[in-house]
Amino acid sequence: MLNVSIYRYNPELDSEPYMQDFQVDTQGKDVMVLDVLEKLKTEDPSLTFRRSCREGVCGSDGVNISGKNGLACITPLSDAVKGNKLVIRPLPGLPVIRDLVIDMSQFYAQYEKIQPYMINNNPAPAIERLQSPEERAKLDGLYECILCACCSTACPSFWWNPDKFIGPSGLLQAYRFLADSRDTATEERLANLDDPFSVFRCHGIMNCVQVCPKGLNPTKAIGHIRSMLIRSAT
Amino acid sequence: MANIRTMSFDAVIVGGGGSGMRAALQLAQSGYKTAVITKVFPTRSHTVSAQGGITCAIASDDPNDQWQWHMYDTIKGSDYIGDQEAIEYMCQTGPEAIFELEHMGLPFSRTEEGRIYQRPFGGQSKDFGNGGQAARTCAAADRTGHALLHTLYQGNLKNETTFLNEWYAVDIVKNEDNAVVGVVAINIETGETVYVKSKATVFATGGAGRIYASTTNAHICTGDGVGMALRAGFPVQDIEMWQFHPTGIHGAGTLVTEGCRGEGGYLINKDGERFMERYAPNAKDLAGRDVVARSMVLEILEGRGCGPDGDHVYLKLDHLGEETLNAKLPGILELSRTFAHADPVVEPIPVVPTCHYMMGGIPTNVDGQALTIDKDGNDEVIEGFYACGEAACVSVHGANRLGGNSLLDLVVFGRASGMFIEKQLREGINLKDASEADIERAMEGLNRINHSEDGEKASVLRAELQTIMQNYFGVFRRGDYMKEGIEKLNALRPRVENVALEDKSNTFNTARIEALELQNLFATAEATAIAAEGRTESRGAHAREDFQERDDENWLCHSVYFPESKTLGKRGVNFTLKTREAFEPKIRTY
C-alpha cells in the first residue's frame, strides 16, 4: 500500500488547510500521479483537482509532487515516491481556491501583459508570410509552452513580486514573439519590458528549467531578452 | 421562481476549443458583445491534443495541388454520406482560413522555400484518385493542435473577447417559440448559477469520446453539447458514426498521430509482416482510418496480434532514423517513452484502435445554423441555435473522417458561423424573451442533482456506461449484441438519473460537474446505440457483421435520432456542388 498525503482545503468547511493521509493499492504498478488522484476521487468525490488531456499537453494538472512542481499525468510514481510516500500539494505561491486548485489569475495577467500575439501591421500577402526553416527553428523550445505554471510558481522572484515580475512562463512567451521573424513589434515589446521588475527580477536561480515538464528553458530565453534590452539601450 | 442573475450578450459561444475560439474571434472582430463559456481555460481544450496537422490544398508541397482533389478524397472518405455542398465549401475556403491562421502567428513547420510544410496523410490523392499519394496536411511538427489552439487564444486576447473561463453550461433555455435564447451556466469557482442570455447561441462543445472505455479523448470530452441539445428535444445526426483511430497507445489510449505513417512508419503484426499491404495494396498504411482500424482488429482476432496477450500490433518507426524523428515527430517520442515505455528510435510502439472522433452531432447547414426536421421531413432552422466543430454534423466527415480534416472543419465552420451570425446581428435578431418558467425548465436537471439524497457515485456509473459502449458498440457491431447493449443502457438509465451528489458545496465543486457530465455522456451513448442498431448496413466506421455490405438503396442518407420518441429517421445527403457535377457513389477501395 502506498501512503499518499494530500493538501485539503475547502473554504466553506475548513478554517484552515490540512494534509489528509490515504492509502492506495497501486498493485505494484508504476502508474502516473494523476491515476492515483483519479482513483482517490472515485472513493472521495470531494477531492478537487484540475485535469483534462491526461497526456501532458493541456497543462491543467500542474501540482507540487513530493516537493517538486510537475504535471500529475506524466509524472510516474517511480519519479515521485520517496520512502513509500507520495505528497501532493497545490502549486506554491498563488492563492488556493480549493484542495489542489489554485487561482491562476496573476499568472495569466502576466502572460497577457507581454502582448502574446503576433504584431505585424504590414499588409498580409495572399498566401502565408514566408519563413525559412532556420528562422522557424528559433521558435522551437518556446512555442511549446502549455501555460501549466509549474515554472512561475517554482520561482522565488515570482513568489515575491507576482504582480510586477512577468515570471519565467510569460517571459518565455515574450521571447517567442521577439524571436519570430514575422513579428515587427520588437521595439514596442522591449520598451514594455524595460523596467526594473518585468525582466530584471530574474536572478538566474533556474528552478524554472528544473521543473518544466516540457523540457523548455525559460532562463535562456530571459537571457536573450536581457541582451536585447541592453543592446537597445546602447 | 428562477431567482438567478442574467447576463446578456449578442452572441454566446459554448466551448473554448478550436471552433469556438474561431467563431468568437470573428464576432469579437466585428464588435458585437461576445462571450465564450468554457469549462476549462481555453488552451486546455481538447483541440490542444491534435497532432499531425490540418489538411488543406495550399499548394506548398505540390504547386499544382487542387482543392477539388481534396474535395474528392473527403467525399470518398465519407463513404458518400458527407454533404457535398459542405465539403466543397470547406475545401475551397480552406486555404484562406489557413493563411489567416498563419498571419495570426501559427508557427507552422516550413519548407526550404519558406512555405508551410505539408505531410502525407491517409486517404489523400492527387487527380481525383488517379495521381498517387498527395502530401496535403499542413503541420507544426506533431503539435499542430497545440499551436493552433494557442494562436486562436492569442488572437482572441488581441481582440478582447470576453471569456467566462471555468464556467459550465448546464442546459439550453428555449422561449415559447422553441427558439434558443441562451443557456443556464454555473461559474465553477463560485458555484453561482446564471442565465446567460444571447441572441445567438453557438455550441462548440466538442466530442464525447469518453462514452467509450478506451479513447484518445481528454477527460473533458463528455458530449455536453449533444446532451443539452437532446434534452432540449433537438435531433442529432449520424451519431452512430464513431471513428476508431488506428494508433492509440495500447493500455493508455493516448493518440499517436497518423503523421507517423505519413512520414513513412508502418504497422506490423507479431510475425513482423507489414499486413496493410494485404488489405489495401495501393494506399497500404495510408488507407482510410476505418479500413486500417478494421484490418488491425482482424489481425488481432486471427491470432497475429503482438504482446503476451496478442491484443495489439506494432507501429514501426525506427527505420526513419533519429534525426527525422526528432525533427518531425518529437511529441510522439515523448508520448511513447512516457506511456508505452518504448523508445521509437529503437523499438516499435504497441498500438490498438481507440475511440477518437464523433463524426455525427447536431445537424447544421453551412452557415452553422442548427437544424431539425419538420413533420413533412423538411429541414427546419432552429432560431437562435448554431453549432460548429466536432459537436456539429454539417456534414463534412460523413461515415469516416479523413485525418487532418477535423482541424480544417474547426476553423472553416467556426469562421463561417461567426460570419453568418455577424450578418444576422447586423440585420437584427428578434427573439422573444424567455419567461421565468422557460428558465426554470432549463434548471430542472441541475436542481435534481443538487437535491439528490441517495444514489450511486458518478464514477461508478460512468465506468459501467463506458464498458457497455466498448463491448457492444465498438469497431465491429452485430444486431443481437447491440440489442443486448441497449437493454443494458435501459437498465442503467434510472441509476444515472439518480446519481448521488454528496458534496453540495459551491466552491469549485468538480463532483457536481462530473454528475452533470454523466447525464450528457449517457444521452450521447444512448443516441449512438439506437442509431447504430438502426442503420442496417456497413458504411465507413459503422461495420456490421450481420449487414456486411453498404446499402445505397436504403442508407445513402443521414440517420437522424429524435430524443423524445427515441426513434431513428432519415435525412437526404446533399449532392449539389456549385462548381461541378456531384461525385456519384463508387465502391470504396484504397
Residues contacting residue B315 through CB under 8 Å, at least 6 positions apart: B247, B256, B260, B261, B265, B266, B267, B344, B348, B349, B350, B351
Nearest residue of chain B to residue A101 (CA atoms): B508
Rounded Cα distance, B7 and B187, in Å: 12
Rounded Cα distance, B286 and B560, in Å: 31
**What SS3 string covers A133-147?**
HHHHHCCCCCCCCCC
| SS3 state of residue B139 | coil
Q: Residue B54's beta-bridge partner residues?
A: B138
Q: B143, B210, B289, B441: which one is catalytic?
A: B289
Give the model's confidence band at A233: pLDDT under 50 very low, under 70 low, under 90 confident, else very high.
confident
Nearest residue of chain B to residue A56 (CA atoms): B335
- Give the pLDDT confidence score for residue B2 in this predicted structure: 58
CB contact under 8 A, A58 and B45: yes
Rounded Cα distance, B115 and B108, in Å: 9
Residues contacting residue B248 through CB under 8 Å, at least 6 positions apart: B214, B215, B216, B254, B255, B256, B351, B352, B353, B354, B356
DSSP B262-298: HTT-EEE-TT---THHHH-TTTGGGS-HHHHHHHHHH
Nearest residue of chain A to residue B456 (CA atoms): A42
CB contact under 8 A, B505 and A182: no
| SS3 state of residue B21 | helix
> Which of B43, B338, B507 minimises the CB distance to A147?
B43
In which order are the strands placed within the sheet that holds A68-71? A18-24, A2-8, A85-89, A62-65, A68-71
> Grid coordinates representing A34?
494523476
CB-side neighbour CA atoms (13 Å) of B167: 25
Residues contacting residue B382 through CB under 8 Å, at least 6 positions apart: B178, B179, B180, B234, B369, B370, B371, B372
Nearest Cα neighbor of B13 from B237, B174, B190, B163 is B163
Domain A2-102 class, CATH top level: alpha beta
CB contact under 8 A, A57 and B146: yes
Q: Nearest-5° angle of CA B420, CA B167, CA B360?
A: 50
Amino acid present at A15: S
ipTM of the complex: 0.98
> Grid coordinates representing B473?
458498440
Rounded Cα distance, A8 and B16, in Å: 29
pLDDT tens figures, A124-183? 999 999 999 999 999 999 999 999 999 999 999 999 999 999 999 999 999 999 999 999
What is the pLDDT of chain A when averaged over all its residues? Answer: 97
- Can you point out the beta strands (E) in B218-366? 236-237, 242-249, 266-268, 313-316, 349-358, 362-363
CB-defined contacts A:B, below 8 A = 151
Query: Which DSSP letter does residue B176 get?
Result: T
Contacts 24+ apart (CB under 8 A), A78-85: A78/A30, A80/A33, A81/A2, A84/A2, A84/A3, A85/A2, A85/A3, A85/A4, A85/A5
- Does A58 have pLDDT greater than 70? yes
pLDDT tens figures, B19-48? 999 999 999 999 999 999 999 999 999 999
> Grid coordinates representing B223?
458530449
DSSP chain A: -EEEEEEE--TTT-SS-EEEEEEE--TT---BHHHHHHHHHHH-TT-----SSSSSSS---EEEETTEEEEGGG-BHHHH-BTTEEEEEPPTTS-EEETTEE--HHHHHHHHHT--S----SPPPSSPPP--HHHHHTTTTTTT-----TTGGG-HHHHH-TTTS-HHHHHHHHHHHHT-TT---HHHHHHHH-STTTTTT-----HHHHH-TT---HHHHHHHHHHHHHHHH-
User: In terms of C-beta density within 10 A (0-12 exposed, 13-18 middle, 19 or more buried), how is residue B318 classed?
Assistant: middle
Per CB-CB distance under 8 Å, the chain B contacts of A108 are 41
- Cell 521577439 belongs to A178
**What SS3 string covers B366-434?**
CCCEEEEECCCCCEEEEEEEEECHHHEECCCCCCCCCCCHHHHHHHHHHHHHHHHHHHHHHHCCCCCCC
Nearest Cα neighbor of A112 from B567, B501, B154, B550 is B154
B289 assigned to active site? yes
Per CB-CB distance under 8 Å, the chain A contacts of B458 are 45
For domain A105-233, the question of CATH label 1.10.760.10 is answered with: no
Query: Which DSSP letter does residue B349 get?
Result: E
Per CB-CB distance under 8 Å, the chain B contacts of A56 are 334-335, 338
Contact call for residues B574 and B583 (beta carbons, < 8 A): no
CB contact under 8 A, A118 and B331: no
> Rounded to whole angstroms, what are the CA distances from B290 to A157, B36, B184, B506, B556?
52, 34, 38, 44, 18
Where are the CATH 3.10.20.30 domain residues in chain A?
2-102
Where are the CATH 1.10.1060.10 domain residues in chain A?
105-233
Contact call for residues B98 and B18 (beta carbons, < 8 A): no
- Does A109 have pLDDT greater than 80? yes
User: In terms of C-beta density within 10 A (0-12 exposed, 13-18 middle, 19 or more buried), how is residue A23 classed?
Assistant: exposed
- Give the pLDDT confidence score for residue A218 in this predicted structure: 98
Profile chain B (590 residues) by mean pLDDT over runs of 10 residues. Answer: 86 98 96 96 98 97 98 98 98 98 98 98 97 97 97 97 98 98 98 98 98 97 98 98 96 94 97 97 95 96 95 97 95 94 96 97 98 93 98 98 98 98 97 97 96 93 97 96 98 97 96 98 98 98 97 98 97 96 95
Distance from CA of B341 to the nearest CA of A (A): 11
Per CB-CB distance under 8 Å, the chain A contacts of B17 are none
Nearest Cα neighbor of B406 from B108, B44, B153, B74 is B74
Amino acid present at B213: A
